[in-house]
Structure formats: structure tokens, C-alpha cells
Amino acid sequence: MRLRWRTFIRIACAGAVSVMALAGAPAQAAGGTGTYALDWHRKGETLQYRSCGCADSCWVAEVKNQRTHQTLAILRCDCTRLLARVPARPGQGVGPSTPEAEQAPSCAAVNESDNKPRAIREALEQLLGR
């Protein structure tokens, strides 16, 4: 069976793209952890946490409605600053257009606390006015 030159090039390019995609996948996932739940004492809501690197100094915590999966608040550390997104009015969700505000120039108060999950929960409760 004879392959045409164009067919050969297409197969070779498709194979190269597949190899590059597979090679890049572990690199993207290597910096963080999966998402897991932290204690949250409000019925119908969950507090989810995931690390994104910097030896657990980069992380994201989100309060979500369990039924609708709507994000109600986000608190995150970018390895340096503590940032948050909360809706303008209670009951609204957080979307991509919700502005992010710096809560502190450092995440040390949370990251270096004796109970980091509790510190995250208390910061989110305060942000949500609870």
C-alpha cells in the first residue's frame, strides 16, 4: 500500500500533537491538589478547597450552593496576596465579571495560622456577613 505524501504529513502532525498534549497534561496537574470539602456549618452550602502550588501557599476556597452549584464567594491566595470575590448583593452568585478585591497584602494570617481550614472558614463567614 502506498501512502501519499500529504497523508503521511497529516498522520505525522496528528501524532505529534497527541504526544505534545499527553506530555503537557502531567505538568499542568503537578502544582496542586484535587478539590475537597472543609467544614461549613450552613445547610445547603459547601466550602470547597483546592491548592494550586507554592507549597500550599497558593489556594482557592469557594462557598457553593449544593443544589445549584452556584458559587457564592471565593477567597484565594496567589502565593502572596489574599484576594476575594463576593456578590454585590446577598443571594447573588459570583461570576466571571464579579470584581476581585485584595483582602490583605499577605496571606500569612491564614497560611500560618494553627488551624488553616478554620481561618479560611472564618474569613469567608466574615466576607459573607454571617
Q: Per-residue pLDDT tens for 84-128?
A: 999 877 777 888 888 999 999 999 999 999 999 999 999 999 999
The rounded distance, in Å, linking the Cα atoms of 129 and 97 is: 21
CA pair distance 24, 93, nearest whole angstrom: 33
Query: Do 14 and 63 share a domain, yes or no?
Result: no
Same domain? For 42 and 57 the reply is yes
List, for residues 61-91, the tens digit of each pLDDT value: 999 999 999 999 999 999 999 999 998 777 7
- Per the CB < 8 A criterion, the answer to whether 117 and 38 are in contact is yes
pLDDT of residue 95: 82
Domain coverage including residue 102: 36-127
Examine the domain organization and report whether 45 and 78 are in the same domain.
yes
pLDDT for position 31: 59
Q: 56 and 98 share a domain? A: yes
Same domain for 55 and 16, yes or no, is no
Percent of the chain with pLDDT over 90: 60
Greater model confidence, 46 or 14: 46
Q: What is the C-alpha separation between 71 and 55, in angstroms, rounded? A: 26
What pLDDT sits at residue 53? 85
- Answer yes or no: do 13 and 58 share one domain: no
Are residues 119 and 75 part of one domain? Answer: yes
Residues 89 and 44 in one domain: yes
Confidence bin at 130 (pLDDT 50/70/90): confident
Give the chain's domain count: 2
